[in-house]
Structure 1
Amino acid sequence: MGSETIESGWLLSRETRPTATGAELVYWLSTVDGPRCLVVPGQPYTGLIRQSDTDAWRQWLGQRTGWRLSATEARDFELAPVDALYVSDPALWRAIRQYAETSGLRLYEADIRPCDRYLMERFICGAMAARVANNAIVAARPATPSHQPSMVSLDIECSRHGELYSIGFYAEGHQCVLMVGPEQGGPDYLHYVEDEAALLRAMLDWFEQHDPDIIIGWSVIGFDLALLQKRAQHHGLRLSLGRDGSEPRWREQAGPGRECGIAGRAVLDGIDWLKAAFYHFESYALDAVAQSLLGEGKACDDVRGRLNEIEHNFRHNKPALAHYNLKDCELVWRIFEHTQLLDFALARSQMTGLELDRTGGSVAAFTHRYLPLLHRAGFVAPNLDSHDIPPSPGGYVMDSIPGKYRNVLVLDFKSLYPSIIRSFLIDPMGMVAGLAEPDPALTVEGYRGARFHRTQHRLPAIIAELAQQREQAKLARNGPLSQAIKILMNSFYGVLGAAGCRFHDPRLASSITLRGHDIMKTTRRWIEAEGYQVIYGDTDSTFVHIGDEPDTDTAQRIGRELVTLVNQRWQQKLAEQGLDSALELEFETHYHHFFMPTIRGSSEGSKKRYVGGVEGPEGLVLTFKGMETVRSDWTPLARAFQQELYQQWFSGKPVTGLVRRWIRETRAGERDSELVYSKRLRRDLEGYQANAPHVQAARLANQLQNDVVYRKGSRIRYLIGQSGPYPLGLGETNINYEHYVEKQLQPVAEPVLSVLGRAFSELDGDQLGLF
């Protein structure tokens, strides 16, 4: 045994390798001194069996070797005692799992990978500090590294047929473009290689020399790495991007971030991680996102035009193509910096325990945090139930009182569902213990027959700890960490009602949502008892009309008073039940102007649709919820019209003349630049059954160009002509202005006009009026 050292760093990848003596756990770390590969040899595969099934298992296992049974004091969720089954033979373990499925014998937690179990049982999430001897881990604990892993932005350029032209790299203090072709000069970062095979070999040499921890890019897994793999196979080359010389491990339908595993490296796709961090863009094309976030991007967003330019420059101006390639790399790098996506990914990994490059996995994150605490409480987790699950009620949505208002306050419960879990002790294990508890005084009643034990629970404490950590992150102005914690906490409700979670139970989810219904209804009664009108409520938000007269200072005071009143009432109400209230109502917004429309063609108030206006130093700032302005399938014409319409209406100015002007200008062709629809193709054109307008336009574009320009993932920009949809810049130019008046202007105008007692048809034409 060699001398021991301490290694500490971010977990980049993890793997379970079968060996003759059990599972070998392989962990790659990013440390301040570079990458380290650490192993845990000879770990058994583990499952839990019912003690009542022990004889049956012994009989089946017979004289086989490589297994042992160990008594435990744990129970399953039906309170049956269980024993642990440890297996060192990988082949026997596969046979045991298969036998459990066919025989009906219970085998709990057999689906948990040993490399995950080792971490979760030691509460290790995202980073590890290990005592190491001869690269083998002797002991391990959680860590919080202060350094950031090294990173490279990777982008490739290729022909329309998938032949590689160049590969770009952008990293801290280093930029490089490898290009196929004879030496012909150019910037210092441009290096030429003989052919495509040489390009791939040069790329592997680059990785061996610079050795980054993390690869980032734009569709970097589904496009760049997938094409690199395909072209390497074409040339009979091994795409040995792993730090151990291995090729990427491809897993189909594994979920975002899990399709491609590279030993010792993490791969972060910019599109997936922006979505994971709850960024929203009309288009996730690199051009569009860079323009939105950085104010800079590619000038051309036409697919065919860009391909033509790439192919032309590869033949005639390779330095220009290299600049284009490197610019893509740089834009991705700057987007990551601007949005702190790497910080967010690291924080998320430390909160969830999931692989650094895994964007989904809320169920796996819950399991990682909850399972070790469950074990220490003397329980083992149930297996996933494949039967149909009765649906649980959704969030509370109040019937709205439609109309135009002055002074509407929005009062929000802070993290309502996590707060309900904390306040009412909702917990999977707690429900098992609560239903078995004969003394009702030791339980809290839930919904649909659920009861939760007052002392035997773990989830409320997890959420309380996360809530405290989030407050600390806010104080430290650590936005990525705060966001990661918020997302994790809010995922717990969905997990408890999700078909893919081993802990799911409709009684758990219903005890959260139905409690939320009652909290919202009770809060409404308390507010209305103070003389104010609640006009709408949605999940955790209550909209309160306080009258037309109060000025801003008075409205602010009323908002604070209502929040204090409601929070004190909930503290008192729960204290009477022997519970501590974590419910916290906050004064979110004071809308000086507010409009709740009716459902189209009805006098009934709509839900999840409203417009609010706040008067400030910059003028009237509008917020649209569920309206055309925030929907990507409406044209710029509808959005601009809606903005101007409500600005004028909320400001007390007449609007019928404005409506007439927009109709006139649209028909006169003065707003043609605002008529373009834009929609992404979510599948290849052959996969569409319905002949939707954007599909028609894409098919026509491909037909007119004799090429498959538009396919799955492409964004088609089109107009509506007299003969139907047609792609922008191609084919017909005879715009159907009546379509835009009827389908874009009229739906926007009608909610406002109905309040004024006017009809759109009255204003559509050359009618004159004193309005």
Structure 2
Amino acid sequence: MATSFTQTLSNGVSSVEFWLLDINYDVIDEEPIIYMWGVTRDDKRIVVVEKNFRPYFYVLTDPGNIEIIKKKLQPYRVLSIDRVEKKYFGRPVTAIKVTLSNPRTVPEAREAVASLAGIREVLEADIRFYMRYMVDKGILPSSWLEAKVREVEVPRGWQVDEAYEVVGDITVLDEKRAPKLRTYAFDIECYNKYGEPDPERDPIIIISRMHDAGEEVFTAENGGERRLIEEFVEDLRTYDPDIIFGYNTNLFDWPYLLKRAHVNNVKLKLGRNMGEPAQSVYGHFSVVGRANIDLYDYAGDLQEVKIKTLENVAEFLGVVPKSRRILIDTNRIYEYWDDTSKRPILRQYALDDAKSTYLLGQVVLPFGIQLSSLVGLPLDQVFAASVGNRVEWFLIRQAYRFNELVPNVKERREETYQGAIVLKPKPGIHKNIAVLDFSSMYPNVMIKYNVSPDTYVPPDEDVPRDMVWVAPEVGHRFRKEPPGFYRVVLESLIRARKEIREAMKRLDVKSDEYKILDERQKAIKVITNATYGYSGWSLARWYKREVAEATTAWGRELIKKTISYAEGLGLEIIYGDTDSVFVKNDEEKVAKLIEFVEGELGFEIKVDKVYSKVFFTEAKKKYCGLLADGRIDVVGFEAVRGDWAEISKDIQEEVVRIVLTEEDPWEAVDYVKKTIGELSRGKVPLEKLIIWKTLSKDLEEYEVDAPHVQAARELKRLGYRVGKGSKIGYIVVKGSGKVSEKAKPYVAVKSPDEIDIDYYVKRQIIPAALRILEYFGVREEHFLGGKKQASLTDFF
């Protein structure tokens, strides 16, 4: 809903302090208006409008071409064309700054200028208008701002207490504590008799929600789907949340809700401006005036959680254990709806989803706020954006401060380069092993050797040897002076994090101040450590393969020198990977090694963890260790791929536990044999045997009958809607022929008697167990009745 904001309630100029929650813009009568949505000190929801900012871009060309540019841009309401002095990759350049009236004309104007002869580049024309405003004004989202304003009338229907128009400066206040934000989590359940629900056909039957004041389940039992959606809209608008949490809502719930609302002729007027959710950048859905956060985006960064279901993530983060919630097979939701006696179970399941989402949101939100205010992306975008995008927006803000032009995004092919050093491990079980970890190794390499796109010296450029750093092995050169763009940025980040951690030492760990600072330092760490990877990302604006390649070369040299010195001390090296070294925990020698690395090599290193026992095979990046507190670390062994059933994962986790805690591989063999017996007797739940695989293309495009493709074709014959992107679950049943000929949709498997026991034993259970146990001399026949050979003590 557009508004002109023309009626002024008072001519007096005042100051307002508010926490910036959301920002967007509109164009009214060819003039852009920026809307900043916030929360004030006294808990009011306000909108602050800016009407005086205009879009612009830069042109790299001969200054004599200004008149040609003016003529070409006559149709686009140009406000000014100015000659400005900037830097581009650290080199001074003269640029032409073109300022327009309407941001929506920028793409056409850019193309018009780019088509002229003599134009080298058109820069910064692709920076979103409201982001351009925040960068130029130094405004940070998820932060406290103070603005000189004049109060204006609140547009009719808008859910704000007050409205203001900017008439002076806006400054960021030095305060990290967020206001009390109203949070709201929801989840939808759809009728799915034919597999994956189809929004063209299948109605929403339940919407559950939990907010700060309580929980509720809305169903289609009374009044049908239309009334259900209306109740949800009314409930959300009545509570008027600042934050909306969901799980996979950007990919599923929001588009589904919008489609079903349209079918039922209902408007999802959920924005504070009465607007409907709309898909925006990074695929996220924007709900104007609120922050819509899809926690599935956050889960994407949790490497420890392989299958990122809501219940798995909630359990991993300790908010809702699986044992304390209802779990049902989501593909059978329609059965619970059709059987009215089961509907209470379905309602509780839906409510448990909303509760898990809400509690997960409370855990994630403090980090999201700090990450948002650090990199400058609004709260609803910061998780949806890739790590590369987060780093890039942080760098764009720094570039503005340093008068650096921002390069364009360019299509590039992926370029490979040698990565980190990974030593071949000493196989076996080792006791009392210390893991020495370099603190921010790659960022510190980039700082020490001034590695940056603007300090790179091309091979054909003649520079005295004493003025450059030369990377080992690869020979790339970087100027020692002046400090490069990356160096300045990384130094400021590392310095800020150290200051925060020092401040944390003086605080009570239970205090709010400590928690806020802890989330802040985590956010800084994420961006600091991601900068190296960003430099080698093919989509990066500041892409430079030589930067990434030189950084890893110096990293390899650092690890080699560390290992060489450790061996000279008589320390046994068990393994090394990227920025970590595993050594026998001889405390005196470890202390000497740390002193050498920090004193002679100039890098910080510390003992990150100590394993009471750790097990390696001959393979790199695969180990499992037992920590002093009883926790088990498993790296690289996980049998979790598209062609593994859950029973394989369960088997492997228990085998690791037995091997490390009981120190008897044959006890693990007995456990596996027991599980095989339970499978043979039909005692293993069918859900444990489902193999999940996603269709990467439409069924008609498959030339080979893979198991999941065959199962998908059967589902289609049964009336289910399947296609590209559908997640297919199948079970291998008895029969002759290839596995694909025995793959049956799991919804069609009714009894354990149908299961192909031999397949699951020989292709699922035993291979998962042998990934750990084959090192101890265990072979397939030992699970099928063979005798024992060695004990674990033979392998120390």
What range describes the TM-score normalised by the shorter chain of this pair?
Answer: 0.7 to 0.9
Question: Retained in 1: the 8 A contact 2:73–2:112?
Answer: no
TM-score normalized by the length of structure 2? 0.80
Give the partner amino acid of 1:461: V
Tell me the distance in 1 between the aligned counterparts of 2:685 and 2:346: 33
Give the partner amino acid of 2:377: L
Aligned-partner SS, 2:137: coil
CA distances 1:653-673 after superposition (whole Å, capped 9, x unpaired)? 664586377447625736952
Tell me the distance in 2 between the aligned counterparts of 1:651 and 1:679: 30
Deviation of 1:439 after TM superposition, in Å, equals 6.1
Deviation of 1:456 after TM superposition, in Å, equals 3.6
In the TM superposition, what are the counterparts of 1:71-470 in structure 2 within 5 Å?
71-77=83-89, 79-90=92-103, 92-103=105-116, 105=119, 106-126=121-141, 127-129=143-145, 130-134=147-151, 135-137=164-166, 138-143=168-173, 144=175, 145-160=177-192, 161-180=201-220, 182=222, 194-251=223-280, 254-255=281-282, 258-276=283-301, 278=302, 280-290=304-314, 293=318, 294-296=320-322, 298-313=325-340, 325-337=350-362, 340-358=363-381, 359=383, 360-388=385-413, 390-431=415-456, 441-446=466-471, 448-470=475-497
CA-atom RMSD, angstroms?
3.8
Deviation of 1:744 after TM superposition, in Å, equals 4.2
Tell me the distance in 2 between the aligned counterparts of 1:657 and 1:245: 64
In the TM superposition, what are the counterparts of 1:598-677 in structure 2 within 5 Å?
598=618, 606-614=619-627, 616=628, 622-628=632-638, 634-635=644-645, 638-639=648-649, 642=652, 655=665, 659=669, 662-663=672-673, 666=676, 669=680, 673=684, 676-677=688-689
Aligned length: 720
Q: 1:425 to 1:678 in 2, by over 3 A?
A: farther
Give the partner amino acid of 2:531: F
Tell me the distance in 2 between the aligned counterparts of 1:733 and 1:701: 21
Give the partner amino acid of 2:332: G
Tell me the distance in 2 between the aligned counterparts of 1:40 and 1:507: 42
Tell me the distance in 2 between the aligned counterparts of 1:448 and 1:431: 11
1:596 is matched with 616
Larger mean CA deviation between 415-424 and 432-441 belongs to 432-441
Deviation of 1:208 after TM superposition, in Å, equals 3.6
Q: 1:587 aligns with which of 607, 611, 616?
A: 607
Give identity over the alignment, percent: 21
Instruction: Tell me whether 1:58 sits opposite 2:75 in the alignment.
Output: no
Aligned-partner SS, 1:350: helix
Aligned-partner SS, 2:51: strand
Q: 1:273 to 1:647 in 2, by over 3 A?
A: closer
Instruction: Tell me whether 1:570 sits opposite 2:582 in the alignment.
Output: no
Question: Retained in 2: the 8 A contact 1:398–1:537?
Answer: yes
Q: 1:543 to 1:86 in 2, by over 3 A?
A: same
Q: 1:516 to 1:100 in 2, by over 3 A?
A: farther
Deviation of 1:110 after TM superposition, in Å, equals 0.8
Tell me the distance in 2 between the aligned counterparts of 1:289 and 1:63: 53
Tell me the distance in 1 between the aligned counterparts of 2:785 and 2:342: 57
Tell me the distance in 2 between the aligned counterparts of 1:630 and 1:151: 34
Deviation of 1:420 after TM superposition, in Å, equals 1.8
Deviation of 1:722 after TM superposition, in Å, equals 4.9
CA distances 1:220-254 after superposition (whole Å, capped 9, x unpaired)? 23333222211222233432222112222224xx4
Aligned-partner SS, 1:48: strand
Instruction: Tell me whether 1:25 sits opposite 2:34 in the alignment.
Output: yes
Aligned-partner SS, 1:733: helix
1:47 is matched with 57
Aligned-partner SS, 1:246: coil
Tell me the distance in 1 between the aligned counterparts of 2:789 and 2:346: 61
CA distances 1:525-566 after superposition (whole Å, capped 9, x unpaired)? 12112122334321111122x3xxxxxxx6344333322222
Tell me the distance in 1 between the aligned counterparts of 2:243 and 2:25: 21
Larger mean CA deviation between 438-447 and 82-91 belongs to 438-447
Instruction: Tell me whether 1:69 sits opposite 2:81 in the alignment.
Output: yes
Deviation of 1:715 after TM superposition, in Å, equals 7.0
Aligned-partner SS, 2:35: strand
Tell me the distance in 2 between the aligned counterparts of 1:61 and 1:570: 56
Question: Retained in 2: the 8 A contact 1:221–1:267?
Answer: no
Tell me the distance in 2 between the aligned counterparts of 1:155 and 1:166: 8
Question: Retained in 1: the 8 A contact 2:621–2:636?
Answer: yes
Structure 2: runs of 5+ lacking an equivalent: 1-9, 152-163, 193-200, 506-513, 737-741, 791-796
1:760 is matched with 779
In the TM superposition, what are the counterparts of 1:675-694 in structure 2 within 5 Å?
676-683=688-695, 686-687=698-699, 689=702, 691-694=705-708
Question: Retained in 2: the 8 A contact 1:407–1:591?
Answer: yes
Deviation of 1:267 after TM superposition, in Å, equals 0.9
TM-score normalized by the length of structure 1? 0.82
CA distances 1:268-321 after superposition (whole Å, capped 9, x unpaired)? 122222334x264344333444455312555342234322213444xx798776
CA distances 1:137-160 after superposition (whole Å, capped 9, x unpaired)? 222222435313211112334433
Question: Retained in 1: the 8 A contact 2:271–2:289?
Answer: yes
CA distances 1:435-491 after superposition (whole Å, capped 9, x unpaired)? 989665554445553413433434333333333444425642444333322222222
Aligned-partner SS, 1:523: helix
Deviation of 1:760 after TM superposition, in Å, equals 2.0
In the TM superposition, what are the counterparts of 1:541-556 in structure 2 within 5 Å?
541-544=580-583, 546=584, 555-556=586-587
Deviation of 1:165 after TM superposition, in Å, equals 3.6
Deviation of 1:504 after TM superposition, in Å, equals 0.5
Tell me the distance in 2 between the aligned counterparts of 1:331 and 1:63: 54
Larger mean CA deviation between 360-369 and 55-64 belongs to 55-64
Give the partner amino acid of 1:86: T
Give the partner amino acid of 2:213: G
CA distances 1:683-711 after superposition (whole Å, capped 9, x unpaired)? 478458354445555655676x6545999
Larger mean CA deviation between 60-69 and 147-156 belongs to 60-69
CA distances 1:706-734 after superposition (whole Å, capped 9, x unpaired)? 54599956573635645534438536725
Tell me the distance in 1 between the aligned counterparts of 2:400 and 2:270: 38
Structure 1: runs of 5+ lacking an equivalent: 183-193, 547-553, 572-582, 599-605
Tell me the distance in 2 between the aligned counterparts of 1:711 and 1:423: 48
Tell me the distance in 2 between the aligned counterparts of 1:295 and 1:449: 51
Deviation of 1:324 after TM superposition, in Å, equals 5.1
Tell me the distance in 1 between the aligned counterparts of 2:77 and 2:669: 83
Tell me the distance in 2 between the aligned counterparts of 1:175 and 1:652: 45
